[in-house]
């Protein structure tokens, strides 16, 4: 038996997800993982980087769950947060321009910047970066130490990376030009099964342009190369500051394949602010059948 799911497809700098509204109507889904895989397929589904559910929350104004295109569940997604904020405001799931969104990595504060009732720009307080090795996590070494400019040898070639978590783990490699960065090679090797990263890792490449501007490209665990990664953009700025490559308390423009984000790591609060676009692509109805699966109401 097929179930019809009204959906909205949105993107933040080309990082696109299928969004289902579980606040306005109950969502009964046999398998979130399987549904994410199905809707992400560009040939037999809709085509996306994954699936995001917008749900009610006991601890925030709304809650989001994120599933990558391979069906794995992620803890956080910066581009997804901005799109959830846009949807929640435009569909009157919230009553003010500043509100909270629950994620698996904690509650985040969103501030929309509407023109009338339409939102194109959103600021997310992404919280404090996680810098301790054991919490990122990165294997080896002292759990409370930081991972800064650390050696990593892969197939006889030595690289250096800095580790940061913004609710999900990132390994940042500094390069002279992101166009020549080994994104596919290192991304495919490190992201999902490399022993140094027990929870997997998002593999990012950073080219410093000046003290307030950088280029960034990413291979996301569970999704591969994407047009943009909001948590990765935040992590790239934090790593750049840790390595004394850009200044703190200055808004840094991060150029991604899909567009630009503005990131600021505040010394006074230790919190990272991210501002960028959120766009609606289309709306429609998706028909899903998962034979033999017991449905759960979310």
Q: Where are the alpha helices (DSSP H) in 122-210?
A: 183-190
CA 263/CA 230 separation, integer angstroms: 9
CA 15/CA 80 separation, integer angstroms: 8
Question: Which element (helix H / strand E) includes 86?
Answer: helix 78-90
Helical axes 78-90 vs 230-242, angle rounded to 10°: 130
- Say how many C-beta atoms besides its own lie within 10 A of residue 234's C-beta: 29
Structure token digits, residue 155 = 């197939």
Beta strands at 169-174 and 202-210: parallel, antiparallel or unpaired: parallel
CA 253/CA 91 separation, integer angstroms: 30
Reduced DSSP (H G I as helix, E B as strand, rest coil) percent helix, strand, coil of the chain, to 5? 15, 45, 40
Identify the CA nearest to 81 among candidates 272, 292, 284, 291.
272
CA 121/CA 260 separation, integer angstroms: 12
| C-beta separation of 165 from 135 below 8 A | yes
- As annotated, the active-site residues are 77, 229
| C-beta separation of 244 from 139 below 8 A | no
Residue with tokens 């978590």: 165
CA 29/CA 298 separation, integer angstroms: 8
Question: Which element (helix H / strand E) includes 286?
Answer: strand 279-288
């Amino acid at each position: 038996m097929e179930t019809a799911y009204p959906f909205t497809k949105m993107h933040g700098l080309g990082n696109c997800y299928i969004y289902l509204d579980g606040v306005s109507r109950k969502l009964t889904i046999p398998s979130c993982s399987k549904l994410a895989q199905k809707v992400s397929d560009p040939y037999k589904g809709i085509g996306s980087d994954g699936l995001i559910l917008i749900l009610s929350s006991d601890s925030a104004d709304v809650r989001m769950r994120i599933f990558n295109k391979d069906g794995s569940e992620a803890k956080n997604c910066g581009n997804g947060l901005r799109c959830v904020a846009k949807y929640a405001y435009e569909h009157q799931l919230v009553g003010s321009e500043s509100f909270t969104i629950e994620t698996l990595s904690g509650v985040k504060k969103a501030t929309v910047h509407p023109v009338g009732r339409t939102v194109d720009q959103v600021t997310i307080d992404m919280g404090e970066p996680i810098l301790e090795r054991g919490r990122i996590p990165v294997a080896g070494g002292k759990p409370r130490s930081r991972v800064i400019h650390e050696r990593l040898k892969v197939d006889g070639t030595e690289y250096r990376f800095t580790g940061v978590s913004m609710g999900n783990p990132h390994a940042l490699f500094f390069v002279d030009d992101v166009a020549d960065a080994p994104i596919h090679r290192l991304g495919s090797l490190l992201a999902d099964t490399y022993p140094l990263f027990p929870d997997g890792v998002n593999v990012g490449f950073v080219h410093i342009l000046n003290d307030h501007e950088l280029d960034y490209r990413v291979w996301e665990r569970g999704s591969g190369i994407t047009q943009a990664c909001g948590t990765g953009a935040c992590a790239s700025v934090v790593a750049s500051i840790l390595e004394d490559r850009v200044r703190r308390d200055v808004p840094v423009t991060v150029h991604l394949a899909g567009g630009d984000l503005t990131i600021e790591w505040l010394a006074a609060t230790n919190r990272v602010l991210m501002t960028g676009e959120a766009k609606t692509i289309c709306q429609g109805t998706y028909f899903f059948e998962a034979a033999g699966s017991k449905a759960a109401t979310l």
